[in-house]
Amino acid sequence: KRASAAEMQLARAFGYSERLIDRGFKAGSVRPLAGCSDPKNADFFSRFRTFEEIEAFLTSRICQLRQEIGSEGSQCEAVVIGTSVEGRPIYALEIRNPEALAAAKKQGKKERIALVTATLHAREWTATTSVLLSAVRLDVTDVSVVFVPVWNPDGYVHTWSGEKGYKKRWAKNELVTDEVPARMWRKNRKLNFDGTIGVDLNRNFGSSDLIWGTDKKSKSINFTES
C-alpha cells in the first residue's frame, strides 16, 4: 500500500525521502535480494536465522548488499556497542549520509539520529528479521539511523537451543517454578541473586522514578517479571 500524502509529508519532515523500487512489485510477495544467500543458495530472509548467521551477515555482508541494491549516498558500518552477560557481542548498524549531513550542518541543523532495536524479548524472531530487512533497504538523508537487531543475544541463542527449561518467579511471597520451552524464553540469561534466571530487558530502563512501559501502579515490585 502506498503511503498517503499526509504520511509522506510527515516522513519528509523527519528527513526521509521516497524512492520507487519496482513498479511491477506486487504487494504481499517476497522478492529475493540478489547475492544475499546462505551456502544452500537460499534467500537470507526466507527463514529465521541463528545468532551466528546474523553475526556473519552484519559483519561481512549487509553493507556490501546495500551498495548492490543501489543505496543512494549513505554509508554503512557495523560496530560492537557492548557485550552480553554470557560474553556475546551486541551489534549495531549505523547508516549515515555524509553529504546530506554536511548540507544540513551548513543550514545550522544538528544531526538527528533514530534508534531502531529488536529482540529485547528473545522469542520475538520476527522483529529481528524486520529490523534486518529495514536496514538493508532504508536510504537516509540528514537523519542517521542506528539499528540494533539483536539486543538480547544470550536469550536469542537460548530460544534456538531446543531445551525445555524451568523459570523461577516470585508470586505472593513464594518462589514458584514454571516449565518454559526454550523457544518461548523472553528474558536475558542473567543469574539473579535469588536463584531466578533472566532479566526482562524491556522493563529495565530508567530509574524508580521513571520506569518505561509501566504505570507505576503494578502490584508487583519485581520489574524483572511480566
- 126-164 pLDDT, tens digit per residue, is 999 999 999 988 888 888 999 999 999 999 999 999 887
Residue 85 has pLDDT above 60, yes or no: yes
Query: pTM score, two decimals?
Result: 0.71
How many residues are recorded in the chain?
Answer: 226
Residue 77 has phi, psi (to 5 degrees) of -145, 130
Question: Which residues, including other chains, have CB under 8 Å from residue 149's CB and lie 6 or more apart?
Answer: 54, 58, 91, 93, 117, 118, 119, 128, 131, 132, 135
Coil, helix or strand for 148? strand
pLDDT at 94: 94
pLDDT averaged over the chain? Answer: 78
